[in-house]
Structure 1
Amino acid sequence: MRIAIASDHAAFDLKTELAEWLMSEGHEVADLGPETADRVDYPDYGYKLAEVIAEGVAERGIALCGSGIGISIAVNRNPALRCALVSEPLSAALCREHNNANAIAMGARLTGIDMAKACVTAFLTTEFAGGRHGPRVEKLSQFPQDAG
């Protein structure tokens, strides 16, 4: 599977370790940066990750920052993306099964490497259930015409 991964400076070490692990597991990994742990702005990397997935260059994405919150918001600005903030394998599996998530976000200050690997494994191995979830997921990419 082709996986894109991006982070900010706070998650640089986690990103590097996950990218190396994913490659050792046989995945093709697009490391979108940053290349060092120097301070950067997470929205820039979240937007880049979203663009790569929306264009079909990568099938799935992993977005990382200190808490996972900021970068997940940035990724979800793209209507083609469904990025779920996860902290354990059950939420990572459910975001695929029920929401057809094409990206996950995690916080490096909150999630250790072993838990991050477990989340990524659940995310990559769980299929979308479809069925009753299909029409709901379709609505996620549409802006509601009448919020009233």
Structure 2
Amino acid sequence: MFQFQFPLYNDIVEQARREAVEAGFEELRTPEDVDAAFRRPGTTLVLINSVCGCAGGIARPAAAHAVHYDKRPDHLVTVFAGQDKEATARAREYFVGEPPSSPSFALLKDGKLCAMLHRHDIEGHEPVAVVQKLQALFDEYCEEV
């Protein structure tokens, strides 16, 4: 049976993963990875990554720049919506009361949700505006480094 290959799409996914990792985010690819990461004490910024244009043009660049700040989360992690489905589903279990959204950001403290930036907080905004939103959350919930 003939099977379609989508090398361009695979390249886009790999580039999206690489951009997050190069920005300092740890990839969580399984539910067990998520549980282990979210059990760590302190603050954790979760990037819910995706391949859409607002992820590549706004969310990932904002994530990369926002963490260069006096206050920042103790841990930076990412799950990939639509790719690592089980890990993303597990992460969303921690975001109690929040609808699924990607790309998006969640800020946790000791495994508990403090705040979220949803797709509507990202899409249509300039990356610098998203950086400012993230850094405002860092000011509120994170310690100075």
Same fold, judged at TM 0.5 (above): no
Between the two structures, name the one with larger relative contact order (CA 8 Å, sep ≥ 6): 2
The TM-score normalised by the length of structure 1 is 0.29
